[in-house]
Structures are given as C-alpha cells and as structure tokens.
Chain A
Amino acid sequence: MPAFPYESLPTPPQPSPRPWLALFGMYFRKQIRRKSVIILLLIANIPTVVGAVFLYLIGQGKLHGGPFSEVIPTIELGLARPFVDSFVLSAAILAAVVGPAALAGERRAGATHFHIIRPMSAWEFLFGHWLVVAVILLFTTLVPLTMLFLFARLVISPELLAALPWIGLLRIMAFSFLVSGFMSLIVISLSAAGNSRRGVTMLWLLLYFGTDIIGSIARGTGLGGKFARCISVPENLDQISSLVLENQLRHSDCGYGAVVVLGFLLLLSVLGLIRGARHIADV
C-alpha cells in the first residue's frame, strides 16, 4: 500500500438530519444521465412544442377549426386535453423505466446494504428514492404544463386572458404533484417489495395498461355496467385530472369512485412500502 497519510477529522461526524437529500442528489444525477431517460423526456416534451405552436397560432388568430381550435375556450387553462393525456402517458412510461431501476435493480449489487449500514433508516432510504422518481416524473407533468400555461398567457389576445386565470397555475401544480406522486409511490412500493427489475416493470405496465385494456373490454361487452370504467387506472387518473384541472368530473359513469379506487391503490402501495422497508432492514 502507498504511504499516503491518513488524517483524522478534527471532530467526529454528526449524523445528517436529512440523509435522504444526499441519496436524492446521487440518484437523481444517475437517473437523469441515463440515455433511456433522456430520450423519453425528449419524446415526452414533443407535445409541449406542438402545443406551444398551436397556442401561438390560436393567439395570433391564424388557426380556426380543427381539433385544437377549441383549445382556449373549452378548457379553462388553455391546455388541450390531448396534451394533458400525452403527458400523463409519458409519465407512466417513464415511471416504468425509472422506478424499477431505483431499488430492485440495485439490490443485487448490495446498494441497499450500503445505505442501511449508515445513519439512514429504511424509510429515509425509500423516501429518497420516491423523491427521485417523483421529481423526474414532474419533468413530464409540471414542467411542460407550466410552460404551456405561461406561453399561452404570453401569446393569447387580451380578451381571452380571462380564460387563463393565475389560479390555473395552482391547479396545474396540484395535478402534477398528484399524478407524479401517485405514480412514483406505486412504482417505488413495487420496486421495494419486488426483487427483479424486469418483474417490477411488468407489474407496473400490467397495472397501468392492463387495467385499461380490461376496462375497455368490460365497457365493450357491457360487463360491470357503469362501473366498468373504474377498473382502468388511466381512466381513473383522467377523472381525477378533470376534477383538479377543470373542477368537474369527466365521466359520470364512475363518478367519485375514481378517488376510492386510487385511494385503495395508494393503501396497497403503503402496504408494499411497509413490506419493502422490512425487507430492506433485513439485509
């Protein structure tokens, strides 16, 4: 070994009150540098550009008719529904890429053990990872929606400004935090409770898209009556997004049942997290 000096610290270190911040910094950098994440973020934000162009054209009075002509008058926030839907869909796909890699992918390398032998509890470890996924998902919800909102306020004519009150920005924030927080909580709980990265990805995709397919089939065949829509996680998110963004339910079928279904999913996620925390502590 080289004779390099080993120096002692003048005072012994004190455990950080927020060790999850260090975890967040490290893993956020790691995730955001992944090629798959960069590509997905770029693709996810294509609608932002398209939306901005349309908003500009509408604002200049150069676009009449067509699917985007109703953008501002029909939605209080001036954000066309197709854009919102595409951002939520991007968030779901991004969650499938980012979430499982956070925990299940690192467990084999012993990264969990690395954290637990330091002044960090299993819950702080999970919280740090949840925060990483949630913040990345905000790049496909909060960031583009806010940009579109601000851009709309810049370009639209003064008489249409009334349709874009500043309260809309608060609604956007509430909606974005809700969707990102919800999705990241589910993928992190799956990742904490599961062992295989691929398995966790499959489970999330099944939960998100699988329930949508089952819901569509149920609606098509008439099974489940008006509650058939409640099976689909995307439909329920859609319902919630309408409630938050537009202050009205999008469908009358399931009504506030969406809140119950998503609440139940959140409860399952918490149970998954408890199992995961025990699993992590038992390294």
Chain B
Amino acid sequence: MLLEAHSLSFSYGNTPALSDLTVSLPNGATGLLGPNGAGKTTFVRIIMGLLRIPKGKLRVHGREVATESKALKAVIGLVPEGEILVPDITAVQYTAYAGRISGLSSTEAMDRAHMVLHYVGLGGDRYRKIDGYSKGMRQRLKLAQALVHDPKLLILDEPTDGMDPKARDEMLDLLKELGNDHGKDLLLCTHLLDDVRRVCRRVLVLSQGRKMGLVDIEMQGKDTDLYAVTMRGPIPPFIDFLESHGFKVDVDTDGEGQIALSRGAADQFIQHAVSQSVQIRRLVPLRESLEEVFTRLVSKDT
C-alpha cells in the first residue's frame, strides 16, 4: 500500500486545510486533483513531514509519517512547484549533493548524478552552472535531484509547469516509464487533467480539504449503465416494448440515442431486439470524461 490516511485533519489557525481525510492509495501512479485551496499542497507537506499531524494518522509505505519522517524522506523524491536551486554550482554538483544529503556515499552520489542527468536529458549540460538554466531545464533538474537517491515514491507538484509542448510530452513519457518500467509510485499534483490521464492509474479528488472521490482511470466508465445505441428497424414500437419491460430509453425515431442497461442486461436487450426484428448497429458504453468526473465530484461539494 502506498499511503493510508485515517481521519487526517490539519488547520492553518482557524482555517481548515484538511478535514477528516480517510483514504487508502494502492501502489502505482496516482493523480492528486482539486481546485485551489483543496488541500493538495498541505497533504504533500504532511506526507513529507514538513507539517506536524495534529489529528489523525498517516502511513506511507507502511511507515508512520509522524514518527519516521526522516527515514521516509530518504525514500521519497519530491519535485516541488517552486524553485529549489543551490546557486553557483553545476548541475552535476547539485544532483550529487542531493544524493549525499539523502544518504548516498560521495562516489555513489556522483555516479548516480551523472546517470540521472543523462536520463532526464541534461547529460550535455551537466557541467553548466544551474543559474543559467531555462525553466524547462530546471524542471528536468528538479526531477533529477528527486531521482538521484532512487526513491520508491516520487511526489511531483506541477512537473510540466513552464515547459513547451515537446518537453512536456517527454517529461510525461518519462514519468510514465518510471511508473510502469521502474516500479516507482507516483503522486502527481497538477491542474492539468491531461497530464494525470497520461501518467496515472487513478485520481484522488480533493475539495476544501475533503476527499471527494478516488477514481480509477482505467476502470472509469466500465460500471456505468449508460450506453450509446444505434438501431435500425421498427424503432417506435420497439421503444414502447422496451419501456414496458422496464428499460430506460432515450432514442429518437431514427434509432440514435442512449439506453440505460444494468449489469448483465445487455444480452437481454439484444434478445429483445432480435425478437422485435430490430438491428443493433452500435452499442457502446458511454464513458464520462475525466473533466466531467472532476467537475461532478467538485460540484458535489459546493
């Protein structure tokens, strides 16, 4: 299990940032979505042990954050939204230094610094001072410093911020590869739903510090009972027939529309169509887009 939060609450003075958050996230890539002030950053800061937990419990990779924060930081890599540069040093010095503080020996840290800088595409610029790096390069460098100590969990806060479309694509491919091929757990905080869709398996939606839903992107829409349908034949009597048998149908006279089918009812529907001499040309489940899921879950709160 990647993360287990139980009745987690946190307030800034009298302003609640997280309210009674209870969630279990399995291993893999998870997106953290929510409008501004939803509590995403607070949640990340609590995971990193930067904020004390006043109420509730949080375990990451089976370890209590409240008591084992230092050990956890050694196996977490964070790509924060803001700047985290150490001025006047080169990229390779910076990345190796990140490894040293995280517990690697100096030789190991330097070896891995070269490796991860190549991996994130900064191999050719690794001896340049990082003060002169562009925004996109700095984003890659932030990923390199988060990867150097080979963390089990990567937390990324707006990792594609300020990147051009090509660089963004490359970054997302890389994150996907880290999750799929290298077994890293990812927690991706972003406002860009497309980034989440491309990298994550599931999405945790927060709003006003509360969990609004945990959506499995791969399974999303599979449980829905709404299907798009195209039929040919005697449509009006068939609609009457279906309605008399308890089906909910919204189909026009041309045979185009939607039909609600509970699980296992599709076979029954097709048998009815055959018995009424109606051809089913198309029957596909209607998937709710991630945008629609997000809007629905967040509007539930308001």
With known contacts A15-B73, A23-B101, A109-B83, A117–B78 Cβ distance under 8 A: yes
Contact B75 A13 (CB under 8 A): yes
How many residues of chain B get a CB closer than 8 Å to chain A's CBs?
Answer: 45
Nearest residue (CB) in B for A114 is B84
With known contacts A22-B97, A30-B89, A113-B82, A16–B115 Cβ distance under 8 A: no
Q: How far is the CA of A114 from the CA of B100 in the complex (A)?
A: 13
A118 close to B (CB within 8 Å): yes
A253 close to B (CB within 8 Å): no
Name the B residues within 8 Å of A109 (CB-CB). 83, 85-87
Contact A14 B74 (CB under 8 A): yes
B71 close to A (CB within 8 Å): yes
Contact A6 B178 (CB under 8 A): yes
* Residues 45-75 of chain B, each 1 if its beta carbon lies under 8 Å from chain A, else 0: 0001010000000000000000000110111
Name the B residues within 8 Å of A70 (CB-CB). none
A255 close to B (CB within 8 Å): no
Q: How far is the CA of A281 from the CA of B50 in the complex (A)?
A: 6
Name the B residues within 8 Å of A105 (CB-CB). 87
Which of A30, A118, A283 is B88 in contact with, Cβ under 8 Å? A30
With known contacts A1-B121, A6-B119, A8-B182, A13–B149 Cβ distance under 8 A: yes
Name the B residues within 8 Å of A7 (CB-CB). 115
Name the A residues within 8 Å of B182 (CB-CB). 6, 8
Name the B residues within 8 Å of A9 (CB-CB). 108, 112, 149-150
Q: How far is the CA of A100 from the CA of B57 in the complex (A)?
A: 39
Name the B residues within 8 Å of A22 (CB-CB). 97, 100-101
Q: How far is the CA of A13 from the CA of B103 in the complex (A)?
A: 6
Contact B75 A19 (CB under 8 A): no
A residues 1-29 with Cβ under 8 Å of B?
1-2, 4-9, 12-16, 19, 22-23, 25-26
Contact A106 B87 (CB under 8 A): yes
Which of B84, B93, B103, B123 is A111 in contact with, Cβ under 8 Å? B84
Contact A110 B102 (CB under 8 A): no
Which of B70, B80, B93 is A113 in contact with, Cβ under 8 Å? B80
Name the A residues within 8 Å of B115 (CB-CB). 4-7
Q: How far is the CA of A105 from the CA of B131 in the complex (A)?
A: 14
With known contacts A6-B116, A6-B182, A15-B73, A114–B102 Cβ distance under 8 A: no
B272 close to A (CB within 8 Å): no
With known contacts A4-B119, A114-B85, A118-B101, A15–B71 Cβ distance under 8 A: yes
Name the A residues within 8 Å of B80 (CB-CB). 110, 113, 117
Nearest residue (CB) in A for B118 is A4
B residues 106-156 with Cβ under 8 Å of A?
108, 112, 115-116, 118-121, 123, 145, 147, 149-150, 152
| Size bin of chain A's contact surface | 35 or more
With known contacts A4-B115, A4-B119, A114-B98, A16–B103 Cβ distance under 8 A: yes
Nearest residue (CB) in B for A118 is B101
With known contacts A13-B104, A117-B48, A117-B50, A110–B74 Cβ distance under 8 A: no
Contact B178 A110 (CB under 8 A): no
Name the A residues within 8 Å of B250 (CB-CB). none
Minimum Cβ distance to chain B for residue A16 (Å): 5
Q: How far is the CA of A16 from the CA of B109 in the complex (A)?
A: 13
Contact A114 B121 (CB under 8 A): no
A116 close to B (CB within 8 Å): yes
* Residues 23-53 of chain B, each 1 if its beta carbon lies under 8 Å from chain A, else 0: 0000000000000000000000000101000
Nearest residue (CB) in B for A125 is B101
With known contacts A6-B182, A30-B89, A281-B50, A118–B84 Cβ distance under 8 A: no
B280 close to A (CB within 8 Å): no
Name the A residues within 8 Å of B84 (CB-CB). 110-111, 113-114, 117
A115 close to B (CB within 8 Å): yes
Name the B residues within 8 Å of A2 (CB-CB). 118-119, 121, 123
B254 close to A (CB within 8 Å): no
Which of A14, A26, A110, A115 is B83 in contact with, Cβ under 8 Å? A110
B260 close to A (CB within 8 Å): no
With known contacts A12-B152, A15-B70, A117-B78, A26–B86 Cβ distance under 8 A: yes
With known contacts A116-B50, A117-B48, A1–B120 Cβ distance under 8 A: yes
Q: How far is the CA of A281 from the CA of B98 in the complex (A)?
A: 18
Which of A1, A13, A23 is B74 in contact with, Cβ under 8 Å? A13
Name the A residues within 8 Å of B121 (CB-CB). 1-2
Minimum Cβ distance to chain A for residue B161 (Å): 14
Q: Give the one of A15, A113, A115 with max B CB within 10 A.
A: A15
Could you show 15 A-B contacts with beta carbons less than 8 Å apart? A1-B119, A1-B170, A6-B116, A6-B178, A8-B182, A12-B152, A13-B104, A16-B101, A16-B102, A23-B101, A114-B84, A114-B86, A114-B98, A118-B98, A119-B71
The 10 closest A-B pairs by CB, nearest first: A110-B83, A13-B103, A22-B100, A4-B118, A114-B84, A110-B84, A9-B150, A15-B74, A119-B73, A109-B85
- Contact surface of A with B, Cβ cutoff 8 Å: 1-2, 4-9, 12-16, 19, 22-23, 25-26, 30, 105-106, 109-111, 113-121, 281, 283
Given contacts A30-B88, A117-B78, A118-B98, 8 further A-B contacts (CB under 8 A): A1-B174, A13-B74, A14-B71, A16-B103, A109-B85, A114-B145, A117-B73, A120-B101
